Amino acid sequence: MFSPLLAILPFLVQTFAKSPEEHASDVNTDLKDCSELLIGQYLCAEPEIDPDTQNIQGCSKESNSAYVWCLPAPDVNCKGLQHNGTFAKSVPCHWTNGQSFETALLLSIFLGMFGVDRFYLGYPALGLLKFSTLGFMFLGQLVDILLIATQVVTPSDGSSYVLDYYGASVERLYTNNETYVVPGD
């Protein structure tokens, strides 16, 4: 009658002989880092928008990212939580130096033949060339209007235009050898 109990007794002793600290360390090693949670496993607060740049506050030029505070979903455990149960999640952003898309486009339309749009964006050599050739006989002006409108030409320092945060912007998609293509039916 006691033989099945004697068979599992060593297992029970080994399991319950651990201290609470050892149990906690076993649990923590199995947890994922909070920054590695998948979409749907956390809920983030709305980011604070800087009214001058129309971008997330804290956006850095070096990493093109900012941090927002997030909560893990109910019944999702992760390591790296603050005392209030939140964690910082890195989100992408577009750093800007304050040059407006609307201003650049309007300058290109009305004063592009004189190269004012290129001076505004930080390309003085092209601006001077457009000024001396009257916008390459207006052909360069037309090309610049299209390039600025499609956001191909951006400020010379590599920053983005100031656009409304929730407004329309252009995102370029690229494919490479790491891109997975879903086969068709």
C-beta atoms surrounding 169 within 10 Å: 13
Q: Are 80 and 34 in contact (CB under 8 A)?
A: yes
pLDDT of residue 5: 41
Give the tokens for residue 89. 């999640």
Cα–Cα distance between 45 and 69 in angstroms, integer? 6
C-beta atoms surrounding 176 within 10 Å: 5
pLDDT of residue 72: 94
What averages of pLDDT result for each successive group of 10 residues across the chain (185 residues)?
45 45 52 89 91 88 90 91 92 90 96 96 96 93 95 93 82 74 69
Q: Judge if 66 and 108 occupy the same domain.
A: no
Q: Judge if 80 and 40 occupy the same domain.
A: yes
| 12 domain residue, yes or no | no
pLDDT of residue 167: 77
| 80 domain residue, yes or no | yes
Q: Judge if 42 and 89 occupy the same domain.
A: yes
| 29 domain residue, yes or no | no
Domain that holds residue 77: 36-93
pLDDT of residue 103: 96
pLDDT of residue 23: 44
| 183 domain residue, yes or no | no
The strand pair at 42-44 and 65-72 is best described as antiparallel
The closest alpha carbon to 162, from 110, 98, 70, belongs to 98
| 114 domain residue, yes or no | yes
| 63 domain residue, yes or no | yes
pLDDT of residue 94: 87
pLDDT of residue 185: 60
Q: Judge if 111 and 157 occupy the same domain.
A: yes
Q: Judge if 106 and 78 occupy the same domain.
A: no
DSSP 8-state secondary structure symbol assigned to residue 94: -
C-beta atoms surrounding 80 within 10 Å: 14
The closest alpha carbon to 52, from 168, 158, 162, 157, belongs to 162
Q: How many domains does the chain have?
A: 2
* pTM more than 0.85: no
Sequence-ordered list of residues with C-beta below 8 angstroms from that of 169, at least 6 positions apart, any chain? 94, 151, 163
pLDDT of residue 166: 78
Q: Are 109 and 101 in contact (CB under 8 A)?
A: no
Across 16-92, the runs of DSSP E, i.e. the strands, are 32-33, 42-44, 49-50, 55-56, 65-72, 78-79, 87-92
